[in-house]
């Protein structure tokens, strides 16, 4: 298992109304990419509209969808998993903002579930960006220890949800044959386009 299942489950759900068309795998993959980008816009707008006017939030969400960084994963890597992970990041930030505002249990649930959804889509995205919502909450919470407690609870809940996937993956690493990925032209360690290998000790967990 090179990627967690959520991105592919979400893609399959979006394509369920088209099941009778018997689409080929390439078309399904492309539709999954489009669906993830629509969700990107929706989640970014849901977060930004809390602090900005509707027009500004709409423009900001559109810019998030059109990030040049994403085009690398669409046209070079065809990385469906990371595109879905980026769709959950705004919800994670929304949870952080609600925590900092003192919303308590509901905010903690949004924070934990969206962070876990990001992990269940693409773990290196959590490694790369996970500190941002935590630091955001701590910075704006100031010295309100109640917010700190809810943040700790949210992080613990998220960690538990992530371990529900990570621990079984560890048990089945013997099923992953990565010899071909560590030799010749397929050696990911020598490919700077795939720096995510530097973030994990083995590619099977990505």
C-alpha span between 82 and 73 (Å, rounded): 8
- pLDDT greater at residue 69 or residue 189: 69
pLDDT recorded at residue 42: 95
**Tell me: the pLDDT tens digits for 180-195?**
666 665 565 555 444 4
Structural contact between residues 15 and 28, judged by C-beta atoms closer than 8 angstroms? yes
Distance CA 133, CA 119 (A): 14
Contacts of 98 (CB under 8 A, 6+ apart): 106, 107, 110, 111
CA dist., res. 128 & res. 131, Å (int): 8
Angle ∠(127,174,194) on CA atoms, nearest 5: 35
Please count the residues of the chain. 206
| pLDDT (average), residues 109-133 | 92
Instruction: Tell me the CA distances in angstroms from 50 to 2, 141, 147, one per residue in order.
Output: 36, 17, 19
């Amino acid at each position: 298992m090179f990627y967690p299942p959520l991105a592919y489950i979400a893609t399959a759900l979006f394509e369920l109304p088209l099941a009778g068309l018997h689409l080929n795998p390439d078309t399904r993959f492309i539709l999954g990419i489009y669906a993830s980008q629509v969700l990107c816009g929706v989640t970014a707008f849901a977060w930004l509209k809390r602090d900005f006017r509707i027009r500004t939030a709409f423009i900001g969400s559109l810019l998030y969808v059109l990030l040049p960084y994403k085009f690398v994963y669409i046209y070079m890597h065809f990385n469906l998993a990371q595109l879905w992970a980026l769709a959950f990041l705004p919800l994670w930030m929304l949870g952080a903002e609600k925590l900092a505002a003192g919303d308590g249990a509901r905010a903690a649930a949004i924070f934990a579930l969206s962070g876990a959804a990001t992990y269940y889509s693409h773990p290196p995205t959590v490694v790369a960006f996970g500190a941002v919502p935590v630091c955001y909450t701590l910075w704006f919470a100031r010295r309100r220890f109640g917010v700190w407690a809810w943040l700790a609870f949210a992080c613990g809940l998220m960690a538990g949800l992530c371990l529900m996937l990570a621990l079984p993956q560890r048990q089945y690493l013997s099923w992953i044959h990565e010899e071909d990925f560590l030799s010749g032209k397929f050696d990911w360690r020598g490919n700077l386009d795939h720096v995510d290998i530097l973030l994990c000790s083995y590619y099977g967990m990505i």
